[in-house]
C-alpha cells in the first residue's frame, strides 16, 4: 500500500510534502516533476492517503479501509484521469465529466478529494485550458496532483498555477535497495548498456543488449538510459579527480549523448511511451 515510508531516495520531495501537511499549508495544486519510475505516483497516492487516512491522519497508515481503497484505485474521491486512444491523451470530455462536473459538489466521503493526472503533458490542449479556472480557484476540499517527466512541455499557465515538487533520479544503489537486493532489470540493463558502450558497440547492437538484459519484462527505457548516463557522469568525475583528462572527456562525451537521448525519450514518453527503435535512432544520430 502506498505510504511515504515506501518511497525511496526522495527525501527532499517528501520533506516538502510532510512539512506542508504538518503546517496545514499544502498547496491545492501540486506538480510532481522528475524521471519515470522514481516514485511520483506512489507519492501522490501516499499523499491522498495521508489526507484521508482514518487511523493516521496527516501520515497515512496504508492499511485502513480508506487507504486500501485509495491503493486499489476504487476510492470515489481519489480519481486518476485516464489517458485514452492511440495517442494516449486525456480528452476534454474526461476533464468535464470527472472534474468540472464534480467540483460543484462536495466530496462523496473524503476529507479531501484528490485528482491525479499521471502525465500532465497528455492533457489535450483544450482539456488543459478547461482546468485552468479550477486550478486557480480551487473548490473546497479539493486537491490536484499533476505529474510529468517533461515540465517544460506543459502550458505555462498550468505550471504557474501549481507548486512544483521535484523528484530526483535514482542511483543504482537506491534501485538495488528498493528491490531488496534482487537484480533490478533497470540496473541490469543500464550496466549492460554502459558495458556495450565501453566495448565500442554501436547503437543497434547496444539496444539489443539492453533488450536482452530486460528479459520478458517491459523495461522503462528512459530509466535505463538515465541510469547509464549517471554512471558515466560518475566515471567522468572520478577521472577528473584522478587527473586522467582523456578518460574524463571520453566518459563525459558518452554521458552527454545518453542525456540527449534521455531527454528525447522523456518528451515522447509523455505521449504514449517510447520505443527501443526510437532510442537506437537517437543514439545513432549522436554517433554512439
Catalog residues that contact Zn ion under the rule CB under 5 A. Answer: 53, 61, 64, 67
- For the CB of residue 98, give the shortest distance to Zn ion in the complex, in Å: 24
Closer residue to Zn ion in complex, CB, 6/64: 64
To Zn ion, the closest distance from the beta carbon of 3 in angstroms equals 8
Nearer to Zn ion, 48 or 53 (CB): 53
SS3 track for the chain: CCCHHHCCCCHHHHHHHHHHHHCCCCCCEEEEECCCCCCHHHHHHHHHHHHHCCCCCCCCCCCCHHHHHHHCCCCCCEEECCCECCCCEECHHHHHHHHHHHHCCCCCCCCCEEEEECCHHHECHHHHHHHHHHHHCCCCCEEEEEEECCHHHCCHHHHCCCEEEECCCCCHHHHHHHCCCCCCHHHHHHHHHHHHHHCCCCHHHHHHHHHHHHCCCCCCHHHHHHHHHHHHHHHHHHHHHCCCHHHHHHHHHHHHHHHHHHHHHHHHHCCCCCCHHHHHHHHHHCCC
CA nearest 51: which of 78, 80, 76? Answer: 78
Smaller CB distance to Zn ion: residue 14 or 135?
14
Taking the complex as a whole, the smallest distance from the CB of residue 50 to Zn ion amounts, in Å, to 9
Shortest Å, Cβ 78 to Zn ion: 12
Based on CB atoms, which residue is closest to Zn ion, 116 or 196? 116
Q: Which residue's CB is nearer to Zn ion, number 58 or number 125?
A: 58
For Zn ion, the closer of residues 61 and 247 by Cβ is 61
- Smallest gap, in angstroms, from Cβ of residue 59 to Zn ion? 8
Using the minimum distance from each CB to Zn ion, give the nearer residue, 63 or 256: 63
Cβ distance to Zn ion smaller for residue 67 or 147: 67
CB of 66 to Zn ion, least distance (A): 5
Query: φ, ψ for residue 84 (rounded to 5)?
Result: -135, 155
Shortest Å distance, C-beta 52 to Zn ion: 8
CB of 145 to Zn ion, least distance (A): 18
Amino acid at each position: 500500500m502506498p505510504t511515504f515510508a515506501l518511497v525511496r531516495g526522495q527525501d527532499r520531495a517528501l520533506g516538502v510534502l510532510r512539512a506542508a501537511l504538518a503546517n496545514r499549508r499544502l498547496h491545492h495544486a501540486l506538480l510532481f516533476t522528475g524521471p519515470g519510475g522514481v516514485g511520483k505516483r506512489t507519492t501522490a497516492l501516499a499523499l491522498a492517503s495521508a489526507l484521508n487516512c482514518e487511523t493516521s491522519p496527516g501520515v497515512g497508515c496504508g492499511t485502513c479501509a480508506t487507504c486500501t481503497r485509495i491503493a486499489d484505485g476504487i476510492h470515489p474521491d481519489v480519481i486518476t484521469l485516464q489517458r485514452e486512444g492511440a495517442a494516449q491523451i486525456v480528452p476534454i470530455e474526461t476533464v468535464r465529466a470527472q472534474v468540472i462536473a464534480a467540483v460543484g459538489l462536495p466530496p462523496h466521503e473524503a476529507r479531501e478529494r484528490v485528482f491525479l493526472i499521471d502525465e500532465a503533458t497528455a492533457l489535450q490542449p483544450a482539456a488543459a485550458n478547461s482546468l485552468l479556472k479550477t486550478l486557480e480557484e480551487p473548490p473546497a476540499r479539493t486537491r490536484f496532483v499533476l505529474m510529468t517527466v517533461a515540465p517544460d512541455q506543459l502550458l505555462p499557465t498550468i505550471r504557474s498555477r501549481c507548486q512544483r515538487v521535484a523528484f530526483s533520479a535514482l542511483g543504482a544503489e537506491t534501485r538495488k535497495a528498493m528491490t531488496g537486493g534482487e537484480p533490478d532489470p533497470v540496473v541490469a540493463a543500464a550496466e549492460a548498456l554502459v558495458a556495450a558502450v565501453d566495448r565500442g558497440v554501436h547503437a543497434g547492437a547496444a539496444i539489443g543488449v539492453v533488450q536482452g538484459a530486460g528479459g520478458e519484462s517491459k523495461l522503462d527505457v528512459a530509466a535505463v538510459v538515465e541510469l547509464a548516463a549517471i554512471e558515466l557522469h560518475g566515471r567522468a568525475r572520478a577521472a577528473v579527480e584522478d587527473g586522467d583528462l582523456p578518460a574524463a572527456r571520453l566518459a563525459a562525451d558518452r554521458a552527454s549523448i545518453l542525456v540527449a537521448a534521455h531527454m528525447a525519450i522523456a518528451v515522447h514518453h509523455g505521449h504514449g511511451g517510447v520505443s527501443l527503435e526510437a532510442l537506437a535512432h537517437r543514439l545513432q544520430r549522436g554517433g554512439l
